[in-house]
Amino acid sequence: MKITIQLDWKKNAQFAGLLLAQHRGWFEESGLDVEILPWTPATNPVQELPNHRGLIAVSEDNLAIQLAAAGHETRILGSMLQKSPLAWMVRTDSEIFSVNQFAAKTIGIHVDGVTGLQYAMKTAGLELTDANVIDVPFEKLDQLRDGLLDVCQCNGLVEPFEMEAAGVPVRVIWAHESGYSVYSQVLSTSHETLEQQDDEISEFMAVLWRGWRAVYENQQAAAKVVFGEFLHETSLEIQRSIIGVMKPFVFGEFRDLDQNFQLGEVSVERLQSSIDLLLLNKVISSPLRAEQLLGR
């Protein structure tokens, strides 16, 4: 039976381990039929999990948690990134260097970035209402370039390199530096899919982590695969840069994280912290136990 992977962005280097495994034929060698779908506008990666057997979604952890809180039996399989790459960009000629300078600024975000921004601003003694926060899902980079935004939400592993390549150098302010320590590129599926395809999904996950280890055995080769086979509109240098800056996120190389974890592991304690944060900010209305989402 086919396994379909729904990404939360285009096929670029942030999914290098997955793409490299597919390119090298490792899924097929393991007897798996894997299809990888890129994000398209207005796609919620987890939305179809209850209706599509064999579907695995890639998303921020909050989307999987929200689906579970809505009453769907959702299971988290692992996480490609041990911390969220959520960040905010400012132009290098900006006088903004930290979140505590966000007051009275115009900040462009996506809907999925509200919780992280609110957390960071509260940590800095601010409220969301202290800034002019607007939703600009598509044209935000142009608005930052043109000075219509003071601050712009971004994936700090990707968009700053794209902006620099476009001739607009930016400075990055990371959400995790404000203590926003959540998982990203989480892989989730339905309880029904896991029950019916447990062996296939276990094999898929093993091949996926093999792909990520291979990326960091030869970063340049991995970047060539991503650029040459999946994302021709970018550049080899951008993809190599993304892979390089991702390494601590993939392997959890941060001082506040347990260095003994297995690649891709999601801990009960940290996932529970993500759940509690969403409950505190009224993104979900009912408490959940992390064990419910991680149970097989």
Judgement on whether residues 288 and 189 belong to the same structural domain of the protein? yes
According to the model, what pLDDT value does residue 189 have?
98
Judgement on whether residues 110 and 170 belong to the same structural domain of the protein? yes
Please count the structural domains in the chain.
2
Which of 153, 178, 203 is the last residue in one of the domains? 178
The C-alpha atoms of residue 73 and residue 294 are separated, in whole angstroms, by: 11
> The domain containing residue 95 runs over which residues?
86-178
Question: Which residue positions in the chain have pLDDT lower than 70?
Answer: none
According to the model, what pLDDT value does residue 112 have?
76
Q: Which residue reads 């992977």 in tokens?
A: 5
Judgement on whether residues 76 and 205 belong to the same structural domain of the protein? yes
Judgement on whether residues 172 and 235 belong to the same structural domain of the protein? no
List all residues 6 or more positions away from 48 whose beta carbon is below 8 Å from its beta carbon.
Answer: 6, 55, 57
Domain holding 151: CATH number? 3.40.190.10
According to the model, what pLDDT value does residue 232 have?
83
According to the model, what pLDDT value does residue 87 have?
97
Judgement on whether residues 73 and 200 belong to the same structural domain of the protein? yes
According to the model, what pLDDT value does residue 179 have?
92
Judgement on whether residues 197 and 263 belong to the same structural domain of the protein? yes
List the beta strands (DSSP E) in the chain: 3-6, 34-37, 55-59, 74-81, 86-91, 106-109, 132-135, 151-155, 170-174, 184-190
Q: Tell me: the pLDDT tens digits for 58-94?
A: 999 999 999 999 999 999 999 999 999 999 999 999 9
pTM: 0.93
Judgement on whether residues 143 and 230 belong to the same structural domain of the protein? no
According to the model, what pLDDT value does residue 141 have?
83
According to the model, what pLDDT value does residue 258 have?
81
According to the model, what pLDDT value does residue 81 have?
98
The C-alpha atoms of residue 80 and residue 186 are separated, in whole angstroms, by: 6
